[in-house]
Structure 1
Amino acid sequence: MKGQEWYQADEIAEAYEEKRFSGGGRLIDRREKQAVLNAIGPVEDSRVLEIACGTGRFTVMLAERGADVVGLDISSAMLKQGREKARSAGVQSHLEFMRGDAGRLPFPDDHFDAVIAMRFFHLADTPASYLAEMRRVSKEVVFFDTFNRFSTRSIYNWALPMGSRLYSRWEVNRLLGEADLELVDATHDFVFPYGLYRAIPDSLASAFRTVDQSVGRVPGGGRLSSVSYWHCQG
């Protein structure tokens, strides 16, 4: 996986959310969380696995809504931040954090109602194997996001610490076929890349978002989207 050592550094984990989801990044956080909730549907009493859970943004949110959640990540430093967040939210009884490899999930087949992976596939060196494991342990929903090859994301991708794996829609459809997953819904969003939103204040980000959504709604505008959310089932 790209950036494996980078994500395991204590200083990266401690500053992760403040750097990415403050200011204009709050808008991204809200959009991503809504995409997850839309895909899972009724959350209460669902068994959910998040691979590459990081600092627990989604795991804690789901636990607060009554899901029984497992968050798995390879970074002990990220998991430490997630456990602290869970304690602060008082949801430890609904949430378990585990250190592990997303390519070899330690769960039986059809163990979860839903398996999600957010901000992960752009780092994946073998996406087919990860998607196959997600499919194996989920009896219903598989949900993940990708950064898109033919989009504004490609303009600044070279400047990122590790770069990103960018996907064409054709490539994602091929991966779904190989994993025996049926596409339920695909949503394409953010003509302006995430990095722009993180660089500006929250108030200005809202104005950019209005323009962004307007561009995305014009014929052909959706093809410029830098992010795609993929809702699938086995």
Structure 2
Amino acid sequence: MKGQEWYQEDDIAEEYEEKRFSRGGRLIDRREKQAVLDAIGPVQDKDVLEIACGTGRFTVMLAERGADVVGLDISGPMLQQGRQKARHAGVADHLEFMRGDAGRLPFPDDSFDTVMAMRFFHLADQPASFLSEMRRVSRDQVFFDTFNRFTTRSLYNWALPMGSRLYSRWEVSRLLDSAGLSLKEADHDFAFPYGLYRQIPNQLASTFRDIDRTLIKSPLGKRLASVSYWNAQVP
């Protein structure tokens, strides 16, 4: 998996959210959380597994809304940050953090209502095997996001030291078919790449976001979208 060693560095957990979600990145954080909530719907009493949970952005949010959540990640320091968040939010009883490999999930078949992964598939070197494992342990829903090929993300990718795996809609469709999943709905967003938002102040980012939304709503919106959210069902 791309960046595996980087994500396991001791200082990454402390720097991760400051790097990713400061300044205009806060807009990204809000949009991603809304995408998760829109896809899962009412979360009360649902069993949810998050793959690559990092410092617990989504796991804590879902636990606060009444879900029973397991967060799995390869980074011990990030998991520790997540545990601290859960304690501070008062949801530690509804949230378990585990260190593990997304390619070999340590759970029986059909263990969770929903299995999700955010900011993961762009790092995946074997996306088909990861998606197959997610489907295996889910009894109802699999949700994930991708960065898209032939968009502004392709240009931004050149500036990244690790790069990202980019996906076409055809490739995602093929991955879903091979995993035995059916697409329920998809949402597409962000004509401007994430990196732009993280480099500018939040107030200026809001202006760019207004332009971004207008572009996405245009007839070419789906083709311009650099990010897609895929909500799939287990037949």
Give the alignment's TM-score, normalised by structure 2: 0.98
Matched to 1:54, the amino acid is G
Is this contact kept in 2: 1:43–1:62, CA < 8 A? yes
- Please provide the CA RMSD for this pair: 0.7
Q: Which amino acid aligns with 1:118?
A: M
Question: 1:78-117 residue pairs with structure 2 within 5 A?
Answer: 78-117=78-117
1:136-168 CA-to-partner distances (Å, cap 9, x unmatched) read 111111000000011000102021121100001
What is the CA–CA distance in structure 2 between the aligned matches of 1:97 and 1:198, rounded to whole Å?
Answer: 28
Distance in structure 1 (CA, Å) of the matches to 2:225 and 2:81 = 31
- Structure 1 counterpart SS, 2:59: helix
| SS of the residue 1:10 aligns to | coil
- 1:229: Cα distance to partner? 0.2
1:218 counterpart = 2:224 = no
Q: After TM superposition, list the pairs within 5 Å mapping 1:76-225 onto structure 2.
A: 76-225=76-225
Alignment-mate amino acid for residue 231 of structure 1: N
Runs of 5+ unmatched residues, structure 2: none
Give 1:58 deviation, angstroms. 0.2
TM-superposed deviation, 1:30: 0.5
- C-alpha separation in 2, matches of 1:119 and 1:191: 17
Amino acid at match of 1:72: L
Q: Normalising to structure 1: TM-score of the pair?
A: 0.98
Partner Cα distance (1:36, 1:178) in 2 = 23
Which AA in structure 2 matches 1:85? K
Contact residue 39 and residue 141 of structure 1 kept, 8 A: no
Partner of 2:6: 6
Structure 2 counterpart of 1:60, which letter?
V
